[in-house]
Amino acid sequence: EAVHSVSVQRLATETAWSVGQGDSSCPERVKPETTTEALNLSGSFSIQVGAQGTRIASSIFTSDPPGVGVVLEPGDEGDEYAFRVSAHETERNITVAWDEVTDPLNPRWSISVDGVLAGFSNTDSLTLNDLHSALAGFAPNVTVSVNAAGSQLGFAAMDNDLLSIVDIKGNLASTLGIDNDAPVVTIDVVEEDTLETIRNKINSAYGAAAGLDRPEDWLHASIELDTATNSHYLVLESNTVGEAHRINILADDKGSLQIAKRLGFLNGADDSTSYRTISRDAAFTFDGKHYLSESNAFRNARRVPVQNDYSATVMEEVSEGIRLDLKSEGQSSITVRHHIKGGAIKGVLEARDDIILNFSDVFDEMAYTLASEMNAIHYAGHGTGENAATTGYAYFTPIHSLYGASRNLSINRAIDEDRSLIAAASGDGTGHTLGEGDGSNALRMAQLKQTKVLQSRSSDFNTFYEAFIANLGSQGQRAQTMLKNQDTLINQIDNQRQSVMGVNIDEEMMDIIKFQQAFNAISRYITTIDEMLDKVINGMGVVGR
């Protein structure tokens, strides 16, 4: 018997991150009535997909010059840095600027949160203690701390949410050693660009040809209609569900967010990201260990390790042989009892609960990986014919959970109905197709069969399936051998039992004959004795009578 304690802090939303449209306070957003009209925008913006840990610690700023905990030395007029701290629904833009106006005789660094002054540096140098003092209580679900020596700054999410810290202007977060190191993709926008070409640029940039090799680092763009204004807008959506695949909108190389704001990726009032859907992982404790999971039904989850970054990136089996399906928040216990310890019933239960489920997990992994990888490549490609200017379609219906993926694998209905949506061609980098005769994206999809994408990118589909068949055959042969050995053992034991208590017809017949002969012999002996006694008693002593 085994007893496990489970405490569920929250359930997973099982949704992907999506960004777009902007709020009502964002009049800057362009509102084209068609998807093909020029937007007359010029500039760039950057996109990043990813998050960090539940806690983030800065680099250690030692006593070496310029001093303990010193991050920035005295600046010059116009020097300004900005970085964004995000956790779940919370976003805070932190700006550090050199201020010679407030106190000309004592210029210092000013620290603002979402445009509101939060404090100044104590001297003309910015230290970690200055940041800690100004940022105390800056967000309800994020705490800021500094060690006793004042040499290391830390951020922690209160509810085991994943943090993401990115530079907006300058490189202060990078200098602190707290910036998100996920890949960054930059999109250049020219005046003749339309929503359609910008969408295609984004999708092409997040293709295999761009150098990204993990679909969870990717996203895709689409165009939707705002019925309230009868205008169109762009939507970005991460390819994979889960809190770890947060979409971060970054500025251009000059720190300007104007293009991102005009496209509706940011809200107007505070430059916060215009999230349409927010993804959140399930957070739970199992036997005292903290885990995160992007799905509510799982066997493996990401352990939140007690480390500096609490990165929660490594998958592990929560408990051997147990598949969890979280239904609500709260505490509970799981009791595992092995009532049946042998016999045919135990064999049937073991086959159902262990062997078949393990094989089912293999098919789920194949289906989930195939759908994710194929869709990631297909999003980036262009269709053919009348859909030559179309990108961003999934080839398979997106699968959001590994558990049960093999049952949910199916072709996207839109592609099944219109084969011209199959993205066989690649883009030319300007938002247009390379041409209907181009099949480079179709080649990438075909090459997926020989690409190592399974088992943490250590195996391709052929190798994975061959290993599965070999394992299946090995287990089958082992089962047959065990069955044969068990039958032999049973026969040996039965023979020994029969030799002790069983009946051998030949031996019994011989014993009967032997006993019959013995009976006949003893009968003759008794008859002889009887005759002798009769002679002695009745036949002797007659003479002289």
pLDDT tens readout for residues 388-411: 999 999 999 999 888 889 999 999
Residue with tokens 């019925």: 227
Q: Quote the CA–CA distance of 382 and 281 in Å, as a whole number.
A: 33
Across 346-360, 468-482, 493-507, the highest mean pLDDT is recorded for 468-482
Residue 222 bridge partners (DSSP): 235
Produce one character per residue of 262-277: b if its CB has 16 or more CB atoms within 10 Å, e if not: bbbbbbbeebbbbbee
Q: Which of 84, 230, 89, 105 is nearest to 159 (CA)?
A: 89
**Positive/negative CA dihedral, 255, 261, 262, 263:** positive
Q: Parse the chain into domains and list their residue ranges.
A: 1-50+191-337, 51-181, 340-502, 504-544
Sheet holding 184-189, edge to edge: 184-189, 43-49, 247-250
Q: Which of 301, 297, 276, 273 is nearest to 286 (CA)?
A: 301
> 26: which DSSP letter?
-
Q: Quote the CA–CA distance of 230 and 34 in Å, as a whole number.
A: 9
pLDDT band at 335 (very low <50, low <70, confident <90, very high): confident
Instruction: Please state the pTM of the whole predicted model.
Output: 0.85
Provide the terminal-to-terminal Cα distance of the chain, rounded to the nearest Å.
101
- For residues 29-41, give the mean pLDDT: 94
What is the distance, to the nearest Å, from the Cα of residue 407 to the centroid of all Cα atoms in its chain?
A: 18
DSSP letter string, 151-194: --EEEEETTSPPEEEEEEESSHHHHHT-S--S-EEEEEE-TT--
pLDDT band at 26 (very low <50, low <70, confident <90, very high): low
Q: Is the peptide bond before 66 cis (omega within 30 degrees of 0)?
A: yes
Percent of the chain with pLDDT over 70: 97
pLDDT reading at 25 higher than 70: no
Are the beta carbons of 398 and 375 closer than 8 angstroms? yes
pLDDT of residue 48: 96
pLDDT band at 338 (very low <50, low <70, confident <90, very high): confident
Sheet holding 108-113, edge to edge: 116-120, 108-113, 90-99, 80-87, 163-169
- For residues 59-77, give the mean pLDDT: 86
pLDDT digits (tens, 9 = 90+) for 174-232: 999 999 999 999 999 999 999 999 999 999 999 876 777 788 889 999 999 999 889 99
pLDDT band at 92 (very low <50, low <70, confident <90, very high): very high
